[in-house]
Amino acid sequence: MIDDIKGILELSDIDVRRLELMRKRRELPLAVEKLKKEIAGEAGMVQECADRITALEAENKQLEDTTREEKDLLRKSEDKLMHISTNAEYDAVHTEITGHKNKINAIEDRMLSNMAELEKLGPKKQELESRLNNEDLTQKKEMLIQLNAETAALDAELAVEENNRNEKMKSIGGNFVRVYERLQKNRKNGKHIGVVEDKSKICSACACSLTSQKYIEVRRNNSLQQCESCGAILVWKSE
Contacts with Zn ion, residue ranges (CB under 5 A): 194, 203, 205-206, 227, 229-230, 232
By beta-carbon proximity to Zn ion, the closer residue of 85 and 186 is: 186
CA distance 131 to 138: 10
From the CB of 199, what's the least distance to Zn ion, in Å?
Answer: 17
From the CB of 36, what's the least distance to Zn ion, in Å?
Answer: 45
Signed CA dihedral, 225, 230, 235, 239: sign only: negative
From the CB of 17, what's the least distance to Zn ion, in Å?
Answer: 22
CA distance 237 to 239: 6
From the CB of 230, what's the least distance to Zn ion, in Å?
Answer: 3
- Please provide residue 238's backbone torsions phi and psi, each rounded to the nearest 5 degrees: -80, 155
- The one-letter amino acid code at 91 reads D
From the CB of 16, what's the least distance to Zn ion, in Å?
Answer: 17
By beta-carbon proximity to Zn ion, the closer residue of 128 and 183 is: 183
By beta-carbon proximity to Zn ion, the closer residue of 35 and 232 is: 232
By beta-carbon proximity to Zn ion, the closer residue of 84 and 206 is: 206
From the CB of 178, what's the least distance to Zn ion, in Å?
Answer: 18
By beta-carbon proximity to Zn ion, the closer residue of 80 and 191 is: 191
By beta-carbon proximity to Zn ion, the closer residue of 133 and 189 is: 189
HEC readout, the chain: CCHHHHHHHHHHHHHHHHHHHHHHHHHHHHHHHHHHHHHHHHHHHHHHHHHHHHHHHHHHHHHHHHHHHHHHHHHHHHHHHCCCCCHHHHHHHHHHHHHHHHHHHHHHHHHHHHHHHHHHHHHHHHHHHHHHCCHHHHHHHHHHHHHHHHHHHHHHHHHHHHHHHHHHHHHCCHHHHHHHHHHHHHCCCCCCEEEEECCCCECCCCCCECCHHHHHHHHHCCCCCECCCCCCEEEEECC
By beta-carbon proximity to Zn ion, the closer residue of 129 and 228 is: 228
From the CB of 196, what's the least distance to Zn ion, in Å?
Answer: 9
